[in-house]
Amino acid sequence: MLQALKSLRWAQPLRALSTSTAGTQPIVSPKTPAPEPDKLYSKLEIELRGIDPAVLKSYTWFATTAADHLGIEKGKCWSPRKAHHERMTLLKSVHIYKKHRVQYEVRTHFRYMNFHKLTGSTLDTFLEYIERNLPEGVALQASKTELQQIPEHLRQPPEQV
């Protein structure tokens, strides 16, 4: 186990790159930042939403190819067979003729990708790269599962309470 912990590479100062990720990241101070152990992520789940399934498919191909080149373990990539339809039914006429309606709909296609076993620096690099190349009209949602040790104060039962 000690070996495993030693083989964890120290986090590289990559934080400056992560501008497009929504969230709060600690800012590394310019004067010799204390080496901080790299984070571990067991899973990265990416959900894509778009109006055109073909664009999503091309993008998935791009992301999985990039993962192959970077040596990231791929998980299941799938998409639901049917799109989500949001329908609006209105009267065709201004206010009478109730039997005649017109229907508008907005379709949202989904696509999911899973990646496993990423270190913090790998995840930041990979996510940054694929987010920068996100085509227009596609929304991306990345769920990251971070692994952490049990905090010091929870390892032993409290001696006095």
Partner 1 sequence: MSTGLTRVWERLPLKKQAAQSGIRVFSQQQPEIEDEEEFRVLNLRTVKQQFQRRREVRRDPVTPPRTNRMAVDQDWTAAWPAPRSFHPASVPLPLRQGFTERGAAAPSKFANAELMKIPNFLHLTPPAIRQQCEAIKKFCSPWPKGLETEAKWQRHFPVEVITTDYLQSLPTIRNLEARRVTISLKLSDLKFDAHARDKFLRLVGDRYNKDTDTVTFVTDRCPLRKQNYDYAMYLLTACYHESFVTEPWEASKSEADMEVYLFERNQSKIAAEGILNWSAKEGDNKISPPPAYAQCVEQLINEGENEYNLAKYKEEVKKMLNV
Partner 2 sequence: MNFLKKLVPQVALAEAQLLSRSSIHTSAVCCRVQSGRYRITTKRNRPLTYEMANPPHFIGHRKSWNSWNTSTLEDGLRPSQTAIEDVFIRKFMTGTWHALVCSEVIIKRQHNTIRIAALIRQAITPRKMYFLIGYTEELLSYWMQCPVTLELQTVGDKNDVIFKYI
| Interface residue list for partner 2 (CB under 8 A) | 20, 49-52, 84, 86, 88, 90-94, 102, 104, 106-108, 134-139
CB under 5 to 8 A by kind: which of partner 2, partner 1, none does 92 bind? partner 2
Query: Phi-psi category of 83—alpha, beta or left, where left has phi over 0 and alpha has psi -120 to 50?
Result: beta
* Least Cβ distance, residue 98 to partner 2 (angstroms): 12
- 129: helix, strand or coil: helix
Nearer to partner 2 (CB atom), residue 74 or residue 84:
84
Binding partner at 127 among partner 2, partner 1, none, C-beta below 5 to 8 Å by kind = partner 1
Q: Name the minimum Å distance from CB 116 to partner 2.
A: 26
Residue 36 interacting entry, from partner 1, partner 2, none, C-beta within 5 to 8 Å by type: none
Which entry of partner 1, partner 2, none binds 105, CB below 5 to 8 A by partner kind? none
CB 84 within 8 A of CB 2: no
Structure tokens at 127: 């996510």
C-alpha distances (whole Å) from 140 to each of 25, 80, 143, 145, 159 are 19, 16, 10, 16, 47
Binding site for partner 1 (CB under 8 A): 1, 3-5, 7-9, 12, 14, 19-24, 38, 40, 42, 52, 55, 58-59, 62, 65-66, 69-71, 117-119, 121-122, 124-127, 129, 131, 133-151, 153-158, 161
The torsion angles phi and psi of 97, rounded to 5 degrees, stand at 60, 70
CA distances from 98 to 50, 93, 102, 105 (A): 34, 8, 11, 19
